[in-house]
Amino acid sequence: MTRFVTKLAAVTAAVALASVPGLASAQTTQAVDEKTGPVSFANVASVRIGNPGSLITETQRSPLTPGQSKLSPDRTVVPRVEERNTFGDKWDINLGRYGAQSPYPPGIASRDHNVIAALQQTTVPTAVAESNYALIDNGRGGAKPADNTVLVLEGAKSAVDCSSPSKATSSTSVSKIWVRDESGALKPSGASGVDVKGLKLGPPSLVKNESIDKGKTTSDLTVSRVTAFDQLIRQDGWRSGDVTAVAGWKLDIVTHVRDEDGKDLREARTTIVLGGVSCAIPKNFVAKPAGGTGPGAAPEQPAVPGIVPAGGVPPQAADSTRTVVGLGLLGGGIVIGAAAMLLFRRREPAPVREK
């Protein structure tokens, strides 16, 4: 029965794809090599808690043919309810969009993030992640979200572009970094990074029967740029290449959990990477000409990304590529297989090994 259902699903998928204008010819576009060819990745936020535990959100991977994969705007916070067992129940990371109550300082409007991994028509891999980020400590017990916010990255952007082995570029920027100071006020702290001792920030989760004192518990916070591939919090499928460019913001937090007498109960270490992106190319990579019809020219017909999310076909974008929205290429959940044969098969998310 299982074999029959799988074959039927495959045939149904093939028929559905064939009905999309231009899809058949797009599938004939020569794909880059999945294991060694040009590739890019983008992730909005991932967390390492202590040594063993990590929460890695949906990671976008560039398609094997020209196109782009974009994180769904529905991902507005980390963690989701089902992710709290890993992340803990005290912290939230807002990813830009908010409802009636803002977790940000006055004047910072709600916005959708822009997290994209793309393969350009020239087969150059690029990636970008841009948004506002707010680290919220619900353990503070404030009346509204903004009262619990301890750190804000306003107008954060990380981007990479691997045009050639000699021209792989990266940039990590922010309009303003806000940190809650000793007086309890959320104030600007420059735009180049942060190194704060004694921040009033509790641990992401509590230990059973732990007599924690919120007033005596503090954290040391460092905000810096991602400068090495191994600093990214990533899954096994997120790979580098002969030439690799990386970008993103890294938060290193050491929380000193204390009791009412000021005695140290434990030390909680947390690393968060916001807007982690990378691109990679082989050492002999040569980009294709932009446009034209000669040998090596980019195809006139828009190409289809290698993997399509369940329940949808990528819409025609305004430019000459197609976009997949809401696709966590390296995450768990429901995925439709790659290239010409797509299998609709629901499976439980497998445990993700973190690098």
Residues of the chain with pLDDT under 50: 1-27, 292-323, 326-328, 331-354
Residues in the chain: 355
- pLDDT of 298 reads 39
- pLDDT of 342 reads 25
- pLDDT of 30 reads 86
Compute φ and ψ for 13, nearest 5 degrees.
-65, -45
Using CA atoms, how far residue 132 sits from 57, 74, 117, in Å, is 17, 15, 19
Q: Which residue has the tokens 């497998």?
A: 350
Instruction: List the one residue out of 250, 251, 255 whose CA is nearest residue 269.
Output: 255
CA atoms within 13 A on the CB side of 335: 19
- pLDDT of 87 reads 87
Reduced DSSP (H G I as helix, E B as strand, rest coil) percent helix, strand, coil of the chain, to 5: 10, 40, 50
Spans of all domains in the chain: 2-196+229-246+275-338
In a 3-state reduction of DSSP, which class is residue 83? helix
- pLDDT of 193 reads 87
Beta-strand relationship, 53-56 and 39-49:
antiparallel
Contact indicator for 76, 95 with CB cutoff of 8 Å: yes
- pLDDT of 208 reads 84
